[in-house]
A and B are shown apart, each in its own frame.
Chain A
Amino acid sequence: MTAVFIALAVIPPALNLRFIIFILTLTNIFAMLAISWNLLSGYMGLLSLGHSFFFAGGGYAAAIITLNTGIPPPLAMLAGALVVTGLGCLIGLPSLKLRGHFFALVTLVIPIIAYQVTNAIPQLGGHDGIFGIPPISRDANLVYLASLMLTLFGVLTTYAIVRSRLGVIFSCIKDDEAASMAAGIDVPRYKLYCLAISIFLAGLAGGFYAFLNGVISPATYELEKASLPLLMTLLGGKATVLGPVVGAYIVQTITETLKIEVLIRSRLLVYSALALAIFMLFPSGIVGYFRRRLYVHT
């Protein structure tokens, strides 16, 4: 794994292909988004269909902060993620009481509301969004390395959580809420913790996205941004540490190779077909599949 990471850090900048580097940077951002989704929906079992809100929210907050105060982008990203975490928790607090599909439904609606609100408020850039967001660095290689560090941070965070007492608690809540309460777990509190961590990571990814593109618009709320992390995580393996990253690289590669005019129009069809194939071939995802094979042999 370390070897792969080092290879990813060294080879693309050495080749110095701007296009590839941009795509890989984007991939890392989506990997981070998938990691954030995996924590909430994979490990905790709360299906979120609204991660695009946390993503775009982080982007908006970071953009507004840096444009209004002149704070350097990395700090603005952090602040933006904190702002959207606070906002998301406020919205999430009542919906955490909902069980199963109802939580998913609420999260599905949130980005739609956010889209309308952003459209209507000129201070948020309205329909056109916010322009002229300064880049993290003029050097594309540096930005790429930063995105790689971001992904690594996400992976390590997941690993630390899964290995800790928090990981056991999240698994218990996913498996059985009533039994968790009987075992002494303050279920609402830990759900909120998980939600907050997940939103924070998604917000970081969103902030990075805004600085990479230089613009953030209501289009970021679109369903695709909410469904991509879901698809990536399921493909790579939900409730696995590396699953979301593996999934993100595969999906992003496929998306970019299929960027032919005809296929762009039918990309939802391609996604759906891919999702179906995953569920049939690898119900526990690619990482889950290999993990299972490994366990059988040991």
Chain B
Amino acid sequence: MALTLDAVTLDLGRRRVLDAVSASIAPGRVTVVLGPNGAGKTSLLRVAAGLVAPSAGAAAIGGDDIQRLPREVRARTIGYLPQQGDVAWNMIARDVIALGRLPYRDTNDASAIAAALAATDTETLADRRVGELSGGERARILLARVLAGEPQWLLADEPLASLDPAHQLDMLDRLRVVARGGAGVAVVLHDLAQAARIADDAILMAGGSIVAAGAAEEILTADRLGDLFGVRLATVPGYPICIPVERR
């Protein structure tokens, strides 16, 4: 049962940010969403998460319109990791993670929180304040917050922003583990090399529309990505990745 967008159009004010977009996110797989700035990637994710109602078309899980799901059901089903990873107050990390249990009206679920701590390797950070954590540690805590809700779908908007290479690899590996556990994972990325490393499926976007979508090995080719971003790409022999080297 996939999470699907069917001819979704989204207007924000007078601007059309999504134009009749149809896409599918499969359970148990990592779907990477790629595209230049302003392509509509975040909007796609927000519609898929049910955070904003499409102007036309619908997002659905197994045919059930996400906008018609009761709030708490939707919140338990879909976990959303927003782009700016900030916590407004200097809370204890464990309390931040416990917020993931809000849809269950029980923020004291010790086993779910312990599982989220273990999955993100953050047990030693649990009693510290988020303001005292490094960017990489805070990113793991915020991932743990989403995992604590045990969502069937995990939508992450640029989870690698402000992470160093080691933490980037770590974050993506954890997302892949989530997918292998059965959840459908969609990730907006800007790093082409990391995208190629983790993607099972890929969606390429430009100007509010989908340029190409499908299995990663067919979609993430140097030609396609070069066209999409307007850059010349170098390929790395032995790895399925390409690296932007100059503007075209």
Q: Is chain B found bound to chain A in the same assembly?
A: no
